[in-house]
Amino acid sequence: MTTTRRVLAVAALAVLAVPAAPPALVAQTTSRVLVRFGMVTDVHFADINPNGARTYRESDRKLAECVSVMNDRRVDFLVELGDFKDQDQAPQEARTLGFLRHIESVLAGFKGPRYHVMGNHDVDSLSKVQFLSIAQSGAGASGEAHYAFVQEGVRFVVLDADHKADGSDYDRGNFDWGDANIDAAQLAWLERTLTSSREPAVVFIHQQLDGEGAYYVKNAPAVRGVLEASGLVLAVFQGHRHEGAYSVINGIPYYTLKGVIEGSGPDANAYAVVEVREDGTVWVTGYRRAVSKGFRALTALPGQARKSPRAPFPAHGQHEWAPGLEPVRKQRYQCLFSYRLLWPVRTHTMEPLFIYRALPSRGGLEEHHGVAVGDLGAQAPAVVDQHAVDRHRRDARQFLELRGALAETLARQAQDVAHRARAIHVEAPRAKRLAHVVGQLNRHAHRSASRVTP
Residue 105: CB atoms within 10 Å: 14
In angstroms, the CA 131 to CA 135 distance is 6
Q: Where are the domains of the chain?
A: 3-295
Q: How far is CA 107 from CA 101, 103, 130, 177, 217, in A?
A: 10, 6, 18, 25, 27
43: CB partners within 8 A, 6+ apart: 59, 62, 63, 80, 83, 84, 85, 103, 260, 261
- Tell me the sheet residues that pair with 283: 275, 294
Q: Contact at 8 Å (CB) between 171 and 123?
A: yes
* Amino acid in position 60: D
| Model pLDDT, residue 132 | 95
In angstroms, the CA 361 to CA 158 distance is 45
| Model pLDDT, residue 298 | 65
The dihedral through the CA atoms of 120, 207, 197, 136 has a sign that is positive
**Rg, the chain, Cα only:** 32
| Model pLDDT, residue 389 | 52
pLDDT below 70 — which residues of the chain?
A: 1-30, 298-405, 446-454
| Model pLDDT, residue 352 | 35
E strands, 121-206, are 147-151, 154-158, 201-205
Q: How many helices (DSSP H) and strands (DSSP E) are in the chain?
A: 8, 15
The model carries a pTM of 0.66
In angstroms, the CA 6 to CA 4 distance is 5
Query: Is CATH 3.60.21.10 the classification given to domain 3-295?
Result: yes
Measure CA 76 to chain center.
23
| Model pLDDT, residue 392 | 56
| Model pLDDT, residue 318 | 32
